[in-house]
Amino acid sequence: MPPSLTVLHQLAVGLECIHKMGLVHRDLKPENVLIWEDPRKGNVLLKWADFGLCKPVNERGSYSMSGVRGTFDWLAPEILNLFYDEELSQSESETTSTVKRGTIQSDVFSEGLVFGYFLLVGRHPFGFRHQIRTHILENEPVNLDNKFAGLPVQHPPTPKTSEVQQPVSLDHCHLP
């Protein structure tokens, strides 16, 4: 794998492209990261995958929600709250229906969880299995107590002047 900052940068630029294309992914998680290594040069390329839950967003980056979609352990707290609100209203037989709106900010939160998972070498920042959702809702990241203690710090090599990337533009997003 490339250095940590390179991995995080590639995924961040990928999500930026998704959002600039007017889409929200809604299912960012480690299992939806594709990793490809160039067999000749050894360069590693990471990309987001599985756009099955993707939705278009308006100019403000929001979208209408007809229900909660995604993998629960990787959802933002506002989306988890919508799910629990839906369950509560169904159990109370509420008949009034209000249109819920999600935003691309939920993708950014989920991406942060994936970053944490990568930096914590396979540990979810908010704990293990059945405690993750509760800890996300309570904003209690239990695996960050000793922030990366014992993990080797991987700094990317200082790029040569000719390798310095120009500011991000939509050109690299490969719009149709």
39-74 b/e (C-beta count within 10 Å ≥ 16 → b): eeeeeeebebeeeeebbebeeebebebeebbbeebb
The model's pLDDT over 127-167, given as tens digits with 9 standing for 90+, comes to 998 999 999 999 999 988 655 555 554 544 544 444 434 44
Residue 70, Ramachandran bin (φ over 0: left; ψ between -120 and 50: alpha; else beta): left
Give the lowest-confidence range in 15-24, 85-94, 141-150.
85-94
User: Would you list the DSSP string of 32-52?
Assistant: GEEEEE-TTT--EEEEE---T
pLDDT of residue 151: 52
Q: What domains can you pick out in the chain, each with its CATH number?
A: 4-144 (1.10.510.10)
Across the range 64-82, mean pLDDT stands at 88
pLDDT score, position 155: 47
**Prediction pTM value:** 0.78
Calculate mean pLDDT across residues 60-83: 88
Calculated CA dihedral for residues 39, 40, 45, 50, nearest 10 degrees: -40
* H or E element at residue 24: strand 23-24
- Residue 32 clears pLDDT 50, i.e. is over it: yes
**The token pair that represents 131 in the structure block:** 């405690």
Q: Which of 27, 38, 85, 171 is catalytic?
A: 27
Distance of CA 92 to the CA centre of its chain: 33
Q: Is 145 a catalytic residue?
A: no
